[in-house]
Amino acid sequence: MIPNVLSIAGTDPSGGAGIQADLKAFSALGAYGMAVTTALVAQSTQGVERILHLPADFVAAQIDTLFADVRVDAVKIGMIDTAEVASVVAERLRHHGAGPIVLDPVMVAKSGDRLLMDDAIAVVRSELLPLATLITPNLPEAAVLLEAAPADTVDGMGEVARALRQLGPRNVLVKGGHLAEEHSPDVLLAGETLTVLPARRIRTANTHGTGCTLSAAVAALLPQRPSMIAAVADAKAYLTSALQASDALDVGRGHGPVHHFHALWATQGQEHMPT
């Protein structure tokens, strides 16, 4: 059965991050994608120009309308920009018994623009983290959630994962892309098992939406894989390949997107419509 997977996040008109990236990742990995919009973001590969904050009751209406009609097999939560929206998302997902839930605590865009208002951080910490099956912070996001300095070693990432789980999520994936190392390891705490997931660091400027894509990939794969570690490992492999193929795209003059459909589209110079 094809899983129905929901993204709750903000938009990205350039298509590299946010809901647009999530829907691409869902589709590439065999899931039917759905979306609830939390904010309308005027952004490109070069940065964020403006954010239109949607009323919390309208976000709730989107969630309720969807759950009243469609079976939802997994949920990915991305950009939650205000405390009111964070609270209502948590409340409505609890009401509908949604799960599994992958929470990507998006705080800063690749361009450096803030995406999360200060008063929303406490609500994300107190209401959304305990609801999550998995959270996927990078090192700066983990530091904000823990109100501590960022980890700078793989061992430190393990300690961060254990500290974050004390805040309520059942599993924690700490992403190591900010480490000053040749490779880009992530650390997964699933149950009591701590696993280091190594990966080579892809040398490319096309890193827009990598966090969105990874968390969306995990959400798409959780209903299709036998375990959390299998879903995360396959999602990480998918992202690595999407980064490696990203130079085939020519999108924008800033941080370009990853190639979500690298395995589905024909190679460059051939037809680009799948048969």
Q: Which of 158, 209, 213, 256 is catalytic?
A: 209
Q: How many CB atoms lie within 10 A of CB 237?
A: 13
In this structure, are residues 187 and 161 in contact, taking their beta carbons and an 8 Å threshold? yes
Q: Which of 38, 212, 213, 256 is catalytic?
A: 212
Q: Which of 76, 110, 175, 236 is catalytic?
A: 175
207 has catalytic annotation: yes
136 has catalytic annotation: no
82 has catalytic annotation: no
Token pair listed for 103: 């929470």
Token pair listed for 195: 């696993």
Q: Which of 47, 156, 168, 207 is catalytic?
A: 207
168 has catalytic annotation: no
CA–CA distance, 86 with 53 (Å, rounded to integer): 12
33 has catalytic annotation: no
Q: Which of 11, 211, 236, 256 is catalytic?
A: 211
Q: Which of 76, 210, 236, 256 is catalytic?
A: 210
The DSSP string of 224-243 is: GSSSHHHHHHHHHHHHHHHH
Token pair listed for 27: 């589709």
Residue ranges of E strands in the chain: 4-10, 32-44, 47-53, 74-77, 101-103, 134-135, 171-175, 186-190, 193-197
Token pair listed for 184: 């880009």
5: β partners: 33, 74
Catalytic residues: 175, 207, 209-212
